[in-house]
């Protein structure tokens, strides 16, 4: 529920409750004043205004009221019950209750219409033209299956006209060219293709357009790693689909997509290269080889050729080289892809250390030592330090999940990310020698019920010599490490600071101590 809807519901509640209270009180008051009251016999002459007390009269035959002279034998002259009703009070009560009821009904109609209007979760209820209009404003990944079903339905329905069929292909194209929607449709397009193949109104141009959307319309080249001086092998990825983890999951496709790298230039000079096609939709893995790189910025140009051809022309071995391509193809494209490639002298030139005192204070509070042990590994003593950082999820994450539903893990990580990347290492001094424990960086995100973020780091150190049997506690200094992230293109800053953990107990598995815990950790193996 959005903030506007919540405010609307609060106002509605206040109005309804207030109106009901006023209306009920008015009705109770009116009921009391308008109750039936038993009274002594009175004269109702002069249209009820007389009121002469008739007590003591045994009979009213041939008698008249001594006050007004009205014949007491006339019907309804002698009154024994007096009604007292305040009509204005009753009218006010009706108005007081009608307002809240009307307000409730109006708001209910609005909210019902909004809840039952086109949304990501209910698009399957609506005709294709409504779905197309909705997706032009709201491209929601969670609606991928519903969208595909609606598009497939337009192809299966024999009463659909050519415009509906064209719209179905147009909507599928919109989705396949959106990164998140295409990711969800990876394994959900086979029913649509099967319906298209069996529909006489589907033209060759429509199918070619669909396959171009499926295999990717816009080829692009991007570095797979950060490049440093003396690197003799650099990987460049050529991608065609909007998302990086596309699968070849389409089983009913009648065409094959192939890509060929015709040449690569570095600042206009031809360079040696190797490449392999990573599936039909994941593009090409390209390695620039030869002489070592020097510091500077390089302009990289990659000449590619892409084709779509009939699946029946695919060689029997299931893969083909450029020489195996048939002469007749469904579609062909030749293109030059360009990218800028900076080459760094050292990791310090690419990734900056940031001393954030606020973040350091948070780490000092949040990071705790889960375990520390020494064990024998490959004939050496391995020292292992397991750290865990736990913190509350920011309120924004909870609010977004309430509004948008479950978020993809990568979106959660971006939302709760620290100001700079935290990649921990530990320094320890043993017998006067300083060592560094390095390891992996892992972060797990929990959802609404467990509103916490956990980051687990396992740091390791292999010692050349055996650890002194007398060592039972060690002091560690936690700091930042950027060397492990030197090739990561997404990391520009890494936290650097100092967090101390003193008197950490060391379990001596290498000496056979804590043997039960060690065996449990190793799955029962000795």
Percent of the chain with pLDDT over 90: 40
Q: What is the pLDDT of residues 213-240, one digit of tens each?
A: 988 888 999 999 999 998 989 999 999 8
pLDDT for 210 equals: 93
DSSP 416-474: T--SSB--EEEEEEETTEEEEEEEEEEEEE--SSS-EEEEEEEEEEEESSPPPTT--EE
**Helix, strand or coil for residue 299?**
strand
pLDDT for 151 equals: 93
Report CA-CA distances (Å) from 72 to 47, 58, 83, 124, 396: 13, 12, 20, 79, 83
pLDDT for 168 equals: 95
Q: Which residue has the higher pLDDT, 466 or 12?
A: 466
Q: Which residue has the higher pLDDT, 143 or 392?
A: 143
CB hemisphere CA count around 45 (13 angstroms)? 16
**Per this entry, what is the length of the chain?**
526
Report CA-CA distances (Å) from 58 to 61, 63, 91, 327, 354: 9, 11, 42, 126, 111
pLDDT for 241 equals: 84
Using H for helix, E for strand and C for coil, what is the string for 209-276? Answer: HHHHHHHCCCCEEEECCCEECCCCEEEEEEECCCCCCCCCCCCCCCEEEEEEEEEEEECCEECEEEEE
Q: Which residue has the higher pLDDT, 248 or 262?
A: 262
DSSP 132-161: HHHHHH---GGGHHHHHHHHHHHHH-TT--
Q: Grade residue 57 by pLDDT with cuts at 50, 70 and 90.
A: confident
Residue pair 343/298 in contact (Cβ under 8 Å)? The answer is yes
pLDDT, mean of residues 239-246: 73
Domain definitions of the chain by residue range: 3-115, 121-343, 357-409+417-523
Report CA-CA distances (Å) from 145 to 69, 182, 291: 90, 11, 49
Distance separating alpha carbons of residues 220 and 237, to the nearest angstrom: 8
Q: How far apart are the first and last CA of the chain?
A: 56
pLDDT, mean of residues 267-291: 88
pLDDT for 170 equals: 95
Q: Grade residue 252 by pLDDT with cuts at 50, 70 and 90.
A: low
Whose tokens are 């900056």? That residue is 352
Q: What is the pLDDT of residues 386-403, one digit of tens each?
A: 998 877 665 556 566 655
Q: What is the pLDDT of residues 481-497, one digit of tens each?
A: 999 999 999 899 999 99
Q: Are strands 424-430 and 473-480 parallel, antiparallel or unpaired?
A: antiparallel
Q: What is the pLDDT of residues 440-489, one digit of tens each?
A: 655 555 544 445 666 778 889 999 889 999 999 999 999 999 999 999 99
Q: What is the pLDDT of residues 314-372, one digit of tens each?
A: 887 667 889 989 999 999 999 999 999 999 999 999 999 999 999 999 999 999 999 99
Distance separating alpha carbons of residues 451 and 235, to the nearest angstrom: 39
Query: Which of 134, 198, 209 has the alpha carbon at shortest distance from 176?
Result: 209
Q: Which residue has the higher pLDDT, 425 or 65?
A: 425
Q: Are strands 452-463 and 296-310 parallel, antiparallel or unpaired?
A: unpaired
Q: Which helix H or strand E contains 173, and what residues bound it?
A: helix 162-176
pLDDT for 444 equals: 54
Q: What is the pLDDT of residues 171-219, one digit of tens each?
A: 999 999 988 888 888 777 888 988 998 888 999 999 999 999 988 888 9
Query: Which of 339, 514, 348, 360 has the alpha carbon at shortest distance from 424?
Result: 360
Distance separating alpha carbons of residues 456 and 370, to the nearest angstrom: 9
pTM for this prediction:
0.68
Q: Which residue has the higher pLDDT, 353 or 47?
A: 353
Dihedral angle sign, alpha carbons of residues 105, 106, 108, 109: positive
């Amino acid at each position: 529920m959005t903030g506007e809807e919540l405010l609307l519901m609060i106002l509605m509640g206040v109005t309804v409750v207030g109106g009901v209270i006023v209306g009920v009180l008015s009705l109770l008051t009116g009921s009391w004043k308008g109750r039936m009251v038993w009274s002594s016999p009175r004269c109702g002459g002069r249209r009820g205004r007389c009121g002469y007390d008739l007590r003591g009269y045994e009979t009213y035959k041939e008698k008249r009221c001594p006050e007004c002279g009205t014949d007491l034998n006339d019907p309804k002259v002698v009154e024994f019950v007096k009604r007292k009703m305040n009509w204005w009070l009753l009218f006010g009560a009706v108005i007081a209750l009608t307002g809240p009821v009307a307000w409730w009904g109006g708001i209910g109609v609005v909210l019902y219409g909004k809840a039952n209007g086109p949304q990501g979760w209910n698009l399957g209820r609506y005709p294709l033209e409504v779905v197309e209009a909705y997706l032009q404003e709201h491209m929601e990944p969670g609606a991928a299956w519903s969208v595909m079903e609606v598009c497939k339905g337009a192809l299966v329905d024999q009463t659909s006209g050519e415009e509906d069929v064209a719209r179905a292909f147009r909507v599928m194209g919109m989705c396949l060219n959106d990164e998140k929607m295409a990711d969800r449709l990876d394994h959900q397009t086979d029913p649509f293709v099967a319906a298209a193949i069996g529909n006489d109104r589907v033209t060759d141009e429509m199918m070619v357009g669909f396959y171009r959307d499926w295999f990717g319309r816009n080829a692009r080249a991007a570095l797979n790693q950060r490049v440093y001086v003396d690197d003799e092998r650099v990987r460049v990825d050529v991608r065609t689909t909007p998302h990086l983890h596309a699968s070849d999951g389409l089983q009913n496709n009648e065409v094959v997509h192939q890509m060929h790298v015709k040449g690569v230039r570095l600042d206009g000079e031809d360079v040696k290269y190797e490449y392999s096609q990573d599936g039909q939709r994941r593009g090409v893995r390209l390695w620039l080889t030869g002489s070592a790189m020097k510091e500077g910025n390089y302009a990289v140009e990659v000449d590619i050729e892409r084709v779509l051809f009939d699946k029946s022309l695919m060689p029997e071995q299931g893969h083909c080289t450029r020489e195996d391509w048939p002469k007749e193809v469904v579609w062909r494209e030749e293109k030059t892809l360009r990218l800028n490639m900076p080459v760094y002298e050292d990791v310090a030139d690419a990734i900056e250390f940031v001393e954030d005192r606020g973040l350091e204070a948070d780490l000092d509070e949040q990071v705790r030592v889960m375990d520390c042990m020494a064990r024998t590994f490959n004939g050496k003593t391995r020292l292992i330090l397991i750290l865990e950082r736990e913190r509350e999820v920011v309120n924004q994450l909870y609010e977004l999940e309430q509004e948008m539903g479950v978020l993809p893990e990568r979106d959660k990580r971006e939302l709760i990310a620290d100001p700079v990347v935290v990649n921990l290492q530990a320094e320890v001094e043993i017998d006067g020698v300083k060592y560094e424990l390095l390891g992996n960086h892992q972060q797990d995100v929990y959802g609404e019920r467990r509103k916490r973020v956990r980051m687990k780091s396992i740091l390791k150190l292999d010692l050349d010599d055996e650890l002194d049997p007398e060592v039972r506690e060690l002091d560690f200094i936690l700091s930042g490490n950027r060397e492990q992230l030197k090739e990561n293109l997404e990391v520009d800053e890494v936290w650097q600071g100092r967090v101390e953990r003193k008197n950490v107990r060391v379990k001596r598995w290498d000496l056979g101590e804590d043997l039960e815990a060690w065996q449990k950790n190793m799955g029962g193996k000795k």
